[in-house]
Amino acid sequence: MKVVLFCGGYGMRMREGAEDIPKPMAMVGSRPLIWHVMRYYAHFGHHEFILAMGFGAKHIARYFLEYEEAYSNDFVIDRGETDYLTTDVKDWKITFAHTGVETPIGERLRRVAHYIGDDEMFLANYADVLTDAPLDAMIDEFAAGDALATMLAVPPQSAFHIIDVNGGNVVRGIRSVSELPIRENGGYFVMRRELLDELKPGHDLVGDTLTRLSAEGKVKAYPYDGFWMPADTVKERTVLEQLAAGGKAPWRLWGDSDMPHTTPPVPDTPLLSGR
């Protein structure tokens, strides 16, 4: 099944003056976020990726054009010949598509629709969120129904509290946002080919297309309470880096052998320098 990754999001200011790094290229351990997302899909047998690139596209393209297997795989050098004992991307097919810098997500998907072809279903992701959700179960549940799309639905991530105030400004109750009976869009989608026909030029995917289709009962959710974490803030990035460094990264369902304990130095590649 093809996987569309939306890679046009603006990133946080990086070290060493590299200000045009897209968010999916933020480093977690020795590899960027997008690599971890792709390894997650590959773990479930999905190796064909379509990268809908926007801001910082050159960094994404260069990373894979100059990909170094040695950073996360065992290898042998025998008389000058390198023999990799394991590989990451050898069986991946990656389509790099330039979809514009300020393009909404829905329009990015519309612009890469011809790469999806006539496949009955496809997967999509923001390429900057990590999880250990059971993707195969999510796909099976979706395939058994008739919705046009389903999305991973996770508990609210905010640490703030909701205050219940009466007319006299008396606080009648305080609850954590995470305790509310609501869900957030987790950024992992399964979609049917027919959804592509619902996309309108210049529209957003969730805010426009899925919102409209949800009113028609054509969108489902896959609730999940396990590990899920974006990398939108410095705090979240730090947590992900600590999990990776400590060998306790829940999203790495493919195992621990591919993650070095230290980030290999690559002085001529600014996008690998971290935040």
Contact between residue 6 and residue 52 where contact means Cβ atoms under 8 Å apart: yes
Which residue is associated with the tokens 């612009």?
Answer: 111
Tell me the CATH number at 234. 3.90.550.10
Q: Amino acid letter at 237?
A: R
Whole-model pTM: value is 0.85
Q: How many CB atoms lie within 10 A of CB 70?
A: 13
Contacts of 166 (CB under 8 A, 6+ apart): 172
Supply the range of the domain harboring residue 20.
2-155+182-272
Contact between residue 52 and residue 5 where contact means Cβ atoms under 8 Å apart: yes
In the chain, the number of structural domains is 1
Question: What does the pLDDT profile of the chain (275 residues) look like in tens digits?
Answer: 999 999 977 755 444 445 678 889 988 988 999 999 999 999 999 999 999 999 999 999 999 999 988 887 889 999 988 898 888 888 999 999 999 999 999 999 999 999 999 999 999 999 999 999 999 999 999 999 999 999 999 998 877 888 989 888 999 889 888 788 889 999 999 999 999 999 999 999 999 999 999 999 999 999 999 999 998 888 888 899 999 888 889 999 998 544 443 333 333 333 332 32
Distances (CA, A) of 22 to 49, 111, 114, 127, 230: 18, 19, 24, 10, 14
Residue 166 falls inside a structural domain: no
Residue 13 falls inside a structural domain: yes
Distance from C-alpha of 115 to C-alpha of 20, rounded to nearest angstrom: 27
Residue 163 falls inside a structural domain: no
Residue 69 falls inside a structural domain: yes
